[in-house]
Structure 1
Amino acid sequence: MRANLITINDEFISFQQFCQKSKLSQREIALIMEPLATALYQNKLKQRVVYLLVFVFLATLIYYISTTEVVSWHLSAIGRVALIKLLPIWNWQHLKYERCFVRDKVDFQIFLDCELCEINNYIDTEYDIKPTELDDHYIKLHKAVIVKNAITNWKIPDDFDTEWIPCKLSSNFLTGPADMGRILEKLSQFKNSYFVHFQNCDRQSVKFFRMFAPKPPVLPTRLSPNQYSWLLLSLDYNVSNYKKIELIEPIALIGQLAGYNYFQLKPRSNCEDYCQIIEVVLEEGEMLIVSDLYDLSYRPFPEGENVAIILEMHN
Structure 2
Amino acid sequence: MVVRRGRSCSGLRSLPFSRKLSHFDGEFERLFRRRLLPAAGSDGCCRVMEPLLRCGSPATRTWAAAGRRGTRAACAAAGLLLLLGCLLLCSRPGSRMLSYCGRALLIQLLPYWDWTLYSNSDCLIRNPYYFESGLESLQLADCISVCQRYPKVESLHRVDPKDVLQNYLRQNLPLIITDGAEEWVAQREFTVPFLTRLYSDHPALQNTKVCSYWDSHHSLENSPGAFLEEVHRQRLIQWAIQWKNCNKAAAKVIRAFYQRPYFLPPVVELAESNWLLMASGAEDGAMENTFVKVRDHDGDLLMWIAQLQGVFEIQLLPKGMCASRCTHYTLHLSPGETVAVPLQMWEVQYRPFSSIAIGLAATGNWLQDPR
Is this a same-fold pair by TM over 0.5? yes
Asked if 2 retains the 8 angstrom alpha-carbon contact of 1:163 and 1:179, the reply is no
| Correspondent of 1:235 among 268, 280, 289 | 280
SS at match of 1:118: helix
Q: Which has the larger radius of gyration?
A: 2
Pick the structure with more helix per residue.
2
SS at match of 1:140: helix
Q: Say if 2:251 is the partner of 1:200.
A: no
SS at match of 2:225: helix
CA distance in 1, matches of 2:224, 2:240: 15
Give per-residue Cα distances to partners, 1:10-47, cap 9 Å, x unaligned.
Answer: xxxxxxxxxxxxxxxxxxxxxxxxxxxxxxxxxxxxxx
1:300 corresponding residue in structure 2: 352
| Correspondent of 1:171 among 215, 231, 243 | 215
Residue 137 of structure 1: CA displacement?
1.3
How do 1:1-315 and structure 2 match up within 5 A?
A: 55=96, 57-58=98-99, 109-110=135-136, 111-112=138-139, 113-119=142-148, 120-154=150-184, 155=186, 156-157=189-190, 158=195, 159-160=198-199, 161-176=205-220, 178-189=222-233, 190-237=235-282, 239=284, 240=287, 241=289, 242-246=291-295, 247-248=297-298, 249-292=300-343, 293-301=345-353, 303-315=354-366
Residue 117 of structure 1: CA displacement?
2.1
Asked if 2 retains the 8 angstrom alpha-carbon contact of 1:169 and 1:177, the reply is no
Residue 122 of structure 1: CA displacement?
1.0
Residue 283 of structure 1: CA displacement?
1.2
Equivalent residues, number? 218
Residue 180 of structure 1: CA displacement?
3.6
Provide the aligned C-alpha RMSD in A.
2.7
CA distance in 1, matches of 2:263, 2:247: 26
1:296 alignment partner AA: V
Task: Identify unmatched segments of 5+ residues in structure 1.
Answer: 1-52, 61-106
Residue 269 of structure 1: CA displacement?
0.7
2:227 alignment partner AA: I
CA distance in 1, matches of 2:163, 2:97: 51
CA distance in 1, matches of 2:172, 2:319: 12
CA distance in 1, matches of 2:211, 2:96: 35
Q: Taking every aligned residue pair, what percent have the same amino acid on both sides?
A: 19
Residue 191 of structure 1: CA displacement?
4.6
Asked if 1 retains the 8 angstrom alpha-carbon contact of 2:181 and 2:337, the reply is yes
CA distance in 2, matches of 1:198, 1:225: 18
CA distance in 1, matches of 2:311, 2:179: 16
Asked if 1 retains the 8 angstrom alpha-carbon contact of 2:244 and 2:275, the reply is yes
Residue 192 of structure 1: CA displacement?
2.6
Residue 58 of structure 1: CA displacement?
4.7
TM-score (norm 2): 0.54
Task: Identify unmatched segments of 5+ residues in structure 2.
Answer: 1-93, 102-132, 200-204, 367-371
